Structure 1
Amino acid sequence: MKKLKLLVLLIAIIVSGLILTNYWISYTASGRVYDTIAKIPKNKVGLLLGTSKYLTSGGINLYYTYRINAAVALYKADKIEFILISGDNSTKHYDEPSTFKDDLIAAGIPEEKIVLDYAGFRTLDSVVRAKAVFGQDAITIISQQFHNERAIYLAKNHDINAIAFNAQDVSGRYGLKVQLREYLARAKASMDLLFNVEPKFLGEKIEIK
C-alpha cells in the first residue's frame, strides 16, 4: 500500500509539473502570437518550422499544408521579405527544407526569397540557428499555435525578439495526439534551457540579403 501511495504521489507530481510547464510557456508567449495577417507586425525574415509532408499512412500531413499556406499569406501581404525554412535533413532520403521550398515556389514565392536551414533537427536548433547562423535578432515564426508558443519561449531565452503567426490547426484524433505530445515537448524544452543545451550543429554564418 505504501509503494502504491508513493507511485500515485510521483505521478501526481509529474502531471502537475507538465501542466504548470505548459501554462508557463503559453503565458510567456501571450501577446506575441497572431492569428490575423492585418495585426501582425512586419519582420524581415519568417522562420518556417519544418515537418514531414506525408503521414506514415501515406496521406498529406495537414500541419505541413497549413504551414505552407501561412508562409505564403505572410509573404504576399508583405509581412515578411524572406522565408527561412528550417527542418530536418538527416539523410539524403529525408529533406524537409527542400520539400517546403519546392511547394513554396509552386505557390508563387520567388526562389531568391527562400533560404534553407538543413540543420533544424529540433525546434531549439531552428530558433537558435536563426540568430547564431543566419544573424536574425528578430523573426516571425510560422507554425501552429502550440508549436509557436514553445518556439517563442525558446527564442525569448536566447535573446531573440520573436513573434509568431499561427497556421491553421489540425482537429480530430491525429490533432489530439500531437497536442498531448506537446506537453512532453514543452517539458523537454524547459530542461534544455535549464541545462544550456546547444544545437547539434552551428557552423559558418550565412547572410540573408
Structure 2
Amino acid sequence: MKKRIVLSILCVLLLLGVGWVSFTFYHMKHVAKEQPPKNIPYLVILGAKVNGEKMSKAFFERAKVGLQYLNQNENTKVIVTGGQGPDEDITEAEAAKRYLIENGIAEKRIFLEEKSVNTYENIKFAKKLYSINEAVFVSNDFHLYRAIQLAKAQDIKAYPLAAETPKVVKPKLFAREFLAILKWVITGK
C-alpha cells in the first residue's frame, strides 16, 4: 500500500514537472517570435559570455540582431550591458560596443552598463543609469521570456527581439534557462 502511494505521488510530480516544462517552453517560443515596433527610444543588448575580448557565439548573435535594428531605426539609442567576469579581459558591454562601432554605429548612440553580473542586474542597472521606461530587449530566443518578465517587473514597457541560439550550445542553454526561470518564479530575480 505504501509503495503504491509513493508511486502515485511520484507520477503526479512527474506530470506536474512535464506540464511546467511544456508551459514554460511554449512561452519561451511565443515571446521569441514577437517582433518589436519601430523607433523605440532604447534598445538593450543583454550581456553574455566574452572569451578574452571576443564575444561568445550566443553574444555575437545578440549583437548582430541589435545592429540590424539600430540600422533600421536611426533614432534609437542602444544600451549594451554586462560586467567583466574572472576570465574576461574586457566587460561584456565593451565587447558589444566595439562590435557596434566597427559596424558603423556612432559612439554617441551607445551607452554602457558595465557592473551587472546577471540578467536581473542588466535590466535594473540600465534602468537606473538611463531612466528607461520603454525599450526593445535583445537576447537569444531561449532567454527572452524571462528577460521581458524581469523588465516588466521593473516598470519598463518591454519588447522582445530574438537572436538565434547557436545549435552547438542550444540544449545546454535551454536546460539552464529552465532552472533560471524556476529561480525567477521563486525569488522574483
Shorter chain as denominator, the TM-score bin is: 0.7 to 0.9
Contact 1:45–1:83 (CA under 8 A) maintained in structure 2: yes
Measured in 1, the distance between the counterparts of 2:187 and 2:63 equals 28
What's 2:43 paired with?
46
Q: Indicate the residue corresponding to 2:187 in structure 1.
A: 192
> RMSD across aligned C-alpha pairs, in angstroms?
3.1
The one-letter code of the counterpart of 1:52 is K
2-structure distance, mates of 1:14, 1:185: 18
- Give the partner amino acid of 2:185: S
Aligned-residue sequence identity (percent) comes to 20
Q: Aligned-pair distance for 1:133?
A: 3.1
Q: Which residue is equivalent to 1:73?
A: 68
Q: Please list every run of 5 or more consecutive structure 1 residues that lacks an aligned counterpart in the other structure.
A: 198-209
Does residue 111 (structure 1) correspond to residue 111 (structure 2)? The answer is no
Instruction: Report how many aligned residue pairs link the two structures.
Output: 185
Distance in 2 of aligned mates of 1:126 and 1:71: 16
For residues 141-185 of structure 1, give each alpha carbon's deviation from its aligned partner in whole angstroms, at most 9, with x where no partner exists. Answer: 01112211111111222221000211123224x211111111111
Structure with greater helix share of residues:
2
Paired letter, 1:102: R
Matches within 5 A, 1:154-173: 154-172=150-168
Q: Kindly indicate whether the alpha-carbon contact (under 8 Å) linking 1:33 and 1:145 is maintained by their aligned counterparts in 2.
A: no
Q: Is the 8 A contact 2:38 2:73 kept in 1?
A: no
1:146 to 142, 146, 149: 142
Aligned counterpart, 2:121? 125
Q: Normalized against structure 2, the TM-score is what? A: 0.80
Give distance in 2, aligned partners of 1:18 and 1:139: 29
Match of 2:21 in 1: 19
